[in-house]
Amino acid sequence: MTGPNNPPDDKTQPGAPDTGESDPEAETPQDAFPTSKSGLIQFKGPEWEIWPFNMMHQSFQLSQKSWHDALDSFDGVPPREKYIASIAAQQIFDMASPANGVWSNPEVIARTMSEGGTNLLRGALHLAQDWQRAAWGLPPVGADDYRPGRDVAVAPGKVVYRSDLLELIQYSPQTETVAAEPVLIVPAWLMKYYILDLSPQNSLVNYLCGQGFTVFMISWVNPGAQDGDICMADYLDAVTEALDGVGSIVPDARVHAIGYCLGGTLLTVKAAQMARDHDERLKTLTLFASQIDFEERAEFQMLLGETEILMLEHLMSKVGYLDGKHIAEAYKVLRAGEWIWPRHINDYLMGRRQPMSDIEAWSVDTTRLPGRAHSEYLRSMVLNNAVAEGRYDVDGRPISLGDITVPVFSVAARDDRIAPWRSLFKLRQLVKSSVTFALTTGGHVDGIIGDPDGRGQSYQIGRLSKTADAINATDWQERTPCQDGSWWPELVGWLRSHSDSARKPPPMGGFKGLAGATNDAPGTYVFQN
């Protein structure tokens, strides 16, 4: 996953033309040097326009550009190796920024002089506290203020089904009538599900319930060493179990299925399997930042090759899982200009604690990744692109995304570093049904999570069909008008357009034939460390 504020790596603004001459559908992340955007933030103040600080940051930025141009000019270097070199160079530039030094940052100098150095003393105490918490395996300062069920994940509901792999949560209705079709949300397994149920004002669950939908959510178990044999087939079967549970509570109704990130990838595979097997329980398919075609890989995925996957498989074979904290920390290092150095300046040099947001706290609450299933995902889907190319087997037979005929609503974020939006745009060429495609501002998390008011947000939206193959991503972006606000109301309107007449809310749980549970939301699995 990514941080809450992915800065844009695409200089093209929504609705503005791309001046590049290459086909954007053929562009891949490794082709461009990922220059740090932190400098654009760090050097904004008027203090940076005074000599000698203006000279410092201008020289620094010119050096970055020179390296950018030099790396881009290398011919005959494989794209992946060029990309790895660019990552190493950017790490050096992020660390060497004049904003990171006490005597090269005019804002730090001014604060140090006005406080007589007490800011540096507070910063040293902050650093010592952070080191101590890290050594003891404690979460960062502020994370304890976001406890599920108390501060986040507070939408009322019940755990109506539990298996070894999931808890199924049914949320309490908020309206007198609801859409005939229930909503089932499948989250990714890297982070806890409550990214979609944070504080009430930015909880998608709360919003959908308030708009007259019956909402169910999967909460995945946090696998341990005993779960090393859990595979992708088990997760696909778990989605079937969830659909069975939803169908027992809301019988004779098809389902609006929603998947986020890897949960969306998993859900798309399940949708293709269901279409192949003539299982018609899905009414619609909605995907949030979910990559299906990995021909164009994100920067983090670009670091993965056969050797790296073999190393991960060896590591996971010993303990049965891969700790999600390692992935989160690795991503923070790769994006040090956004995650590490701004906090270094604020907490240690300025001497003030930057409050942790609910999204940051959620990103700390990682889960373990089941070894076998994660290995299958990396090798089959990411490295070999088997799903998009029709070479992925489920129950011993290949699936085809072309079998999917239910309406699709796909949401991509323009600055997403995990699931590149141009790659998500290709979905229209893979499925038989038409795709409503929404491109929103923000990154992998803040592009999806916001609030219905959409303050400071904007999006583009349009309906695509497979016959519109001539429209590439940049052409679509240029021609589609940009709208202010949140895309959430667009999703609700789309779901309603594919829903039957309203009815009374279904009962809360209490179905037969499955392992019922009676815990209140957010359940028990969300608390597993």
Question: Which residues are identified as catalytic?
Answer: 261
Residue type at 463 in one-letter notation: R
As a residue count, the chain comes to 529
Kindly state the tokens that stand for 167. 């808890």
Where on the phi/psi map is residue 485: left (φ > 0), alpha (ψ -120 to 50), or beta? left
Give me the DSSP letters along 453-500.
T-TT-EEEEEEE-TT-TT--HHHHHHHSPPEES-SHHHHHHHHHHT--
Query: In the chain, count of helices (H) and strands (E)?
Result: 18, 14
Most distant CA pair in the chain: distance in Å? 75
The CA distance from 424 to 296, in Å, is: 9
Q: Is 286 helix (H, G, I), strand (E, B) or coil?
A: strand
Distances (CA, A) of 170 to 8, 266, 507, 517: 37, 21, 10, 11
Distances (CA, A) of 275 to 233, 268, 404: 17, 10, 6
Task: Give CA–CA dist 100/472, Å, rounded.
Answer: 41
Question: Which residue in the block uniquely carries the two structure tokens 């038989």?
Answer: 432
Scanning the structure block, which residue is given the tokens 């790596």? 9
- Report the distance separating Cα 337 and Cα 92, nearest Å: 10
Element (H, E) at 311: helix 306-319
Eight-state DSSP code of residue 452: T
Backbone angles phi, psi at 430, to 5 degrees: -100, -30
Helix (H) or strand (E) holding 275: helix 262-276
Which tokens sit at 383? 């490295």
Sign of the CA dihedral with 67 first, then 34, 293, and 479 last: negative
Identity at 286, one-letter amino acid code = T
